[in-house]
Copies of this chain bind each other. A is one copy, B any other.
Amino acid sequence: MTVFLNGNYVDGSAAVIPVTDRGFIFGDGVYEVFRSVDGRLFEGERHQERLEEGLAALRIAMPEAAHGGALREIAARLLEENGHSRGHATVYVQITRGAAPRAHQFPADDVRPTMFVTTSALNSLEAVRSAGAVVITQPDVRWYRCNIKTIQLLPNVLAKQAAIESGGFEALFIRNGMVTEGTHSNLFAVLEGEVRTHPDNNLILPGVTRSVVLELAAELGFPVREEAITEEEIGQVDELFLTGTTTDVLPIAQVDGRHVGTGSPGPVAGQLYEALYRRMHEGRD
């Protein structure tokens, strides 16, 4: 497995960083996960834009290799060398503020950001997709900048672990009685004929698939409203589904042991998944 680290293509086993890297010491960095379909980055520009926005929000200097054209070349080479240029794969990019003596404030200007890129084959979720995902709810204890795709992911780790231990697939975060999103996915509901999802603000990650699904829902003629559902409304929805770069559109069958709607994947999620799949295979990026 070849990975890219700070300008070099190296074997994954040789990809090491100093312990003083601010990613390791402070969680001081951002990441991005691109979806590759037959070697093409699906919605690559939106992912690129989010990566750049994250770097700007944290004021981490953008490495040359992180610019769109350069990053595409890195991704293409890794996908090819790693045998991921056919079918579905992901390209993981992480950029931190670099290695420096430990002090909270930003280091000297000559400290160069650390950039790491790797690829993986996409895990198939077809079994989960056909049965519907089993999920739990968890308190949303995260910080108030969830819109930045940072590596501050410990609350997501703990909530996902709770989901796995409960026999489920994902956890939905609840903040002040509202469902915000999943630990690595956004949440949609179908309620009273509307497709609903949490508004794009500081409490959720602005998912690329979320945006695409909002567009597809409108194209398919579903009324769409960006308003979170409440914890109570979970019991009233016709459908719930997750969206994300690795989850696509994934129907939810159960929340905290209770059926969602009929308890089987619903028609809106099905149509949106098909429309997403079509768009992905049109080669649009």
Q: Is the interface of A mostly helix, strand, loop or mixed?
A: mixed
Interchain CB contact under 8 A, A154 and B19: no
Q: In angstroms, how far is the closest chain B Cβ from the Cβ of A45?
A: 24
Q: In angstroms, how far is the closest chain B Cβ from the Cβ of A38?
A: 23
Whether A183 is near chain B, meaning CB under 8 Å from some CB there, is: yes
Q: In angstroms, how far is the closest chain B Cβ from the Cβ of A98?
A: 12
Whether A218 is near chain B, meaning CB under 8 Å from some CB there, is: no
Residues of A within 8 A of B (CB): 3, 5, 12-13, 15-28, 31, 58, 92, 94, 96, 102, 104-106, 116, 118, 120, 139, 141-145, 150-158, 160-161, 163-164, 183-184
Residues of chain B within 8 A (CB-CB) of A152 are 27, 143, 152, 154-155
Those 5 A-B pairs whose CB atoms lie nearest each other, nearest first: A27-B27, A16-B16, A104-B160, A141-B144, A26-B153
A157 to B28, CA, bound (A): 8
Interchain CB contact under 8 A, A141 and B151: no
Residues of chain B within 8 A (CB-CB) of A23 are 24
Interchain CB contact under 8 A, A157 and B104: yes
